[in-house]
Amino acid sequence: MSLAGDQMELGEDEIRAHYEAALGLLTGFDHSPRLAEARAAASPERSAGLGTRRRFRSTTPGLAARHGARAEGVRLLDRIEASDGDDVLISARQATVMQGLRRALAIAMALGDAFGRATDLARLKRANVEGRLSPADRTAFSELLAGEALVSLYGFANAAAFLLADAAGEVTVEVGAVQEILTDNAPLALQGILWELDQALADHASDEPRMVATVLAFAEQVMDAVALRAQTAPRLAAFAGARYRVEADDLTLAGFTPARHARGSVLTMQFKKPHQVVGNHIAKHQAMRLAKMLMAYDFDRRLNPFAEIGGFIFTFMGDGKPGTGKTTLIQMMAGLIHEYCGNAGYPFRYQNFSIDQIDSYQGKSGQNARAFIDNVMDPNVIGFGTVDDIDQIAGKRGDRQSSAGQQEVTAVLMEAFSGANTVVRGNCTFGMFSNFPENVDDALRQRAGARFLVDGPQTREDYIDILHLLLGKNHDIPLGEHELYAAQQIQRAVAASFERHGRPHEAGLLRVWEATEKRIGKLDTVAKIGAYLKAIQEVDERFTGRSIKNITDAVKVRAMDVELPDEWMEKPDLFLFRSYDDKSAMIRELMRPITVEMVIQEINRYADSEFRYADIADEAAIENAVRDMGRMEAARRRYAAKVRE
């Protein structure tokens, strides 16, 4: 074991030295429960004629059973093998779990050895074996043995949860509290916990996904139970304050703290800074806020205070003309999250779903979309998923020009973004981007909780800023009378942008606004605002209850439009590493009250976008109809000429 900064390296040789003992525990041992009650048979049932022999001798390196007789009590390898019914071959997922458990056990045993060397336990063990343990040392020996047992148990559960996180699916299992926590010594403690894991698998592992979910849920329960016991156990300071690094697994074990599954995606994109996004003030502002919101996610509670309080943006639609900065906005937001996660040591996973993933094989496109959703929503990472050019990727229902693959993607995205089984934890967000949002299925578009109008540079100052930015530094042209990037100062620009939505922009919506105000006066009460919403619905029947929910969510975002200090992102101990309750309280202190102006502005922003989409779609339909009529008229004239001939 060597020192690496403030970490101690748990060497690969030390871990692999325990592989044989770990495999022996998985292959079979006898155990009589002392604290828990047996619920399942001692070993998985076998078909007639197979006796006690393995149905298939694994060819996975290191998992083949040892030659000779073996115990008939707890046989975890057989229990895992039985999770797929009668298939005689071990699947890749089963082999992954077997190898993960063996590796976790070996790491736990190596941790126990390290604890013995860091304390007086190693010396006391030698003295006990040689029969020279003094009466004065017996209490310390007993307490240190119990400490080693707790260290081994927590190390096993922590490593197992980390190593098997990639094998997890959407299935979850409730295994209940773990009872067989024995602290006589480390070997007995591991046997007790593996006996209870065998019981849990017998109860819940009816198929492979539930088998993996059972192991992971059991590991979480073991960590909770052991951490609680460790709070009052003596002589654990040597482990509680230590950090052990397992380089081969990218795993850091820091006392009785769960290791995070820090396997995000490797990003090769060119990140942009906020000042490099010229114009697009509201979109840039909300993207910056959302990047910080994601960082409030609590990995222990698996929930974000913003998602619980309200105002978290789970899905958003970014639309604008080609060349207005949608890609730059993605690069900026991904760069911010990547930087924040790097400071905190959080795993960050970015994925884009592209047209390349639309497959000609039936069902494959839907599978690709489902895998994309699952990867981004993984509760062990901070996720950012984008669907660029969604109008080309997701087909409109009923559109005969949409392929079967595009229709599959639409169905998957609709279910994932606002389906019966959608769970918004607040660890991820999805952005849909399009140059032609009017071509996106109405129901899918309405599942975008926020609208980011990406309209590019607008003012004279914007155009000067973007020209200077894109020219680069290889010139000596004087800037002239201009304060560079002053127009991109976000607070001032956003305030002006929001104020412009005090009245509608689209002609159709403006007529509704003026008629409503003329009829009932200024919209300054909930009743009057509700009447305005109903008037919009009478003009556009797509303006449904989902639209109202999206608007109220946007209003809550405005109320939660708090400036989380940059220092909180740079120094994680100030906020990110605080408890969930502390983070929630800190956020609530920054909240602003909802005002009439906020509600009106968000109604107009949302409704303007829907009217804009409808107008564009109607105009396109009219143009197509005129073109068709022109062709028919030309055909009639040509036909009449031929008849006359």
148 and 238 part of one domain: yes
The DSSP secondary structure of 607-634, one letter per residue, reads: HHHHHHHHHHHHHHHHHHHHHHHHHHHH
What's the pLDDT band for 557 if we cut at 50, 70, 90?
A: confident
283 and 238 part of one domain: no
> Would you state the pLDDT for residue 47?
40
Average pLDDT of the residues of the chain: 82
74-78, 328-332, 501-505: the lowest-pLDDT one = 501-505
> Would you state the pLDDT for residue 460?
83
In a domain, 116, yes or no: yes
What's the pLDDT band for 555 if we cut at 50, 70, 90?
A: confident
pTM here is 0.54
What's the pLDDT band for 143 if we cut at 50, 70, 90?
A: very high
> Would you state the pLDDT for residue 492?
57
Sign, Cα dihedral of 279, 282, 286, 288: positive
What are the Cα distances from residue 425, in Å, to 303, 313, 374? 5, 11, 13
Rounded Cα gap, residues 578 and 570, in angstroms: 14
pLDDT at residue 410 greater than cutoff 70: yes
pLDDT at residue 79 greater than cutoff 90: yes
245 and 281 part of one domain: no
> Would you state the pLDDT for residue 151?
96
299 and 150 part of one domain: no
The structure tokens listed for 19 are: 């592989």
> Would you state the pLDDT for residue 458?
74
The structure tokens listed for 626 are: 């005129």
What's the pLDDT band for 615 if we cut at 50, 70, 90?
A: low
In a domain, 169, yes or no: yes
The residue out of 203, 219, 254 marking a domain boundary is 254
Rounded average pLDDT over 200-209: 91
Q: Return the top range by mean pLDDT from 178-182, 369-373, 474-478, 599-603.
A: 178-182
pLDDT at residue 2 greater than cutoff 50: no
> Would you state the pLDDT for residue 305?
92
Domain that holds residue 316: 274-500+545-590
pLDDT at residue 188 greater than cutoff 80: yes
> Would you state the pLDDT for residue 75?
93
In a domain, 530, yes or no: no
310 and 453 part of one domain: yes
What's the pLDDT band for 493 if we cut at 50, 70, 90?
A: low
Rounded average pLDDT over 256-277: 68
Rounded Cα gap, residues 407 and 397, in angstroms: 7
> Would you state the pLDDT for residue 605?
81
User: Higher model confidence: residue 280 or residue 119?
Assistant: 119
Q: In what order do the strands lie in the sheet with 2-4?
A: 2-4, 7-9, 243-246, 251-254
200 and 99 part of one domain: yes
193 and 320 part of one domain: no
Rounded average pLDDT over 424-446: 86
Q: Return the top range by mean pLDDT from 218-222, 255-259, 357-361, 498-502.
A: 218-222
Rounded Cα gap, residues 84 and 72, in angstroms: 21
DSSP symbol at 310: S
Closest C-alpha among 418, 537, 554, 427 to residue 498: 554
308 and 216 part of one domain: no
User: Could you tell me whether strands 251-254 and 428-434 are parallel, antiparallel, or unpaired per DSSP bridges?
Assistant: unpaired
250 and 278 part of one domain: no
What's the pLDDT band for 613 if we cut at 50, 70, 90?
A: low
Query: Residue type at 281?
Result: H
Rounded Cα gap, residues 60 and 474, in angstroms: 59
In a domain, 226, yes or no: yes
Q: Where are the alpha helices (DSSP H) in 82-134?
A: 92-118, 121-129
Per-residue pLDDT tens for 46-65? 443 334 444 444 444 444 43
pLDDT at residue 420 greater than cutoff 80: no
pLDDT at residue 149 greater than cutoff 70: yes
241 and 96 part of one domain: yes
78-87, 126-135, 137-146, 172-181: the lowest-pLDDT one = 78-87
What's the pLDDT band for 370 if we cut at 50, 70, 90?
A: confident
User: Could you tell me whether strands 251-254 and 315-319 are parallel, antiparallel, or unpaired per DSSP bridges?
Assistant: unpaired
Rounded Cα gap, residues 200 and 214, in angstroms: 7
Closest C-alpha among 331, 351, 338, 342 to residue 274: 331
pLDDT at residue 589 greater than cutoff 60: yes
What's the pLDDT band for 153 if we cut at 50, 70, 90?
A: very high
132-146, 399-413, 556-570: the lowest-pLDDT one = 556-570
pLDDT at residue 1 greater than cutoff 70: no
Query: Residue type at 190?
Result: L
In a domain, 347, yes or no: yes
120-134, 190-204, 396-410: the lowest-pLDDT one = 396-410
Burial track 543-582 (b if 16+ CB lie within 10 A, e otherwise): beeebbebbbbbbbbbbbbbebeeebbeebeebbebebee
Per-residue pLDDT tens for 278-323? 766 777 888 888 899 999 999 888 899 988 887 788 998 887 777 7
The residue out of 190, 222, 254 marking a domain boundary is 254
Please give the backbone phi and psi of residue 35, each rounded to the nearest 5 degrees, phi first. -115, -25
369-383, 390-404, 448-462: the lowest-pLDDT one = 448-462
354 and 413 part of one domain: yes
Domain at 580, CATH number = 3.40.50.300
> Would you state the pLDDT for residue 57?
41
In a domain, 198, yes or no: yes
The structure tokens listed for 368 are: 């690709």
Rounded average pLDDT over 212-223: 92
> Would you state the pLDDT for residue 50?
39
What's the pLDDT band for 269 if we cut at 50, 70, 90?
A: low
In a domain, 496, yes or no: yes
What's the pLDDT band for 619 if we cut at 50, 70, 90?
A: low
pLDDT at residue 490 greater than cutoff 90: no
What's the pLDDT band for 106 if we cut at 50, 70, 90?
A: very high
| Chain-centre distance for alpha carbon 226 | 27
In a domain, 209, yes or no: yes
Rounded average pLDDT over 196-220: 92
**For the chain, what is the domain count?**
2
> Would you state the pLDDT for residue 564?
83
User: Higher model confidence: residue 328 or residue 25?
Assistant: 25
304 and 215 part of one domain: no
pLDDT at residue 132 greater than cutoff 80: yes
pLDDT at residue 70 greater than cutoff 60: no
Angle (nearest 5°) at CA 303 between 332 and 166 = 75
Rounded Cα gap, residues 332 and 271, in angstroms: 6
User: Higher model confidence: residue 187 or residue 395?
Assistant: 187
What's the pLDDT band for 496 if we cut at 50, 70, 90?
A: low
pLDDT at residue 621 greater than cutoff 80: no
> Would you state the pLDDT for residue 614?
66
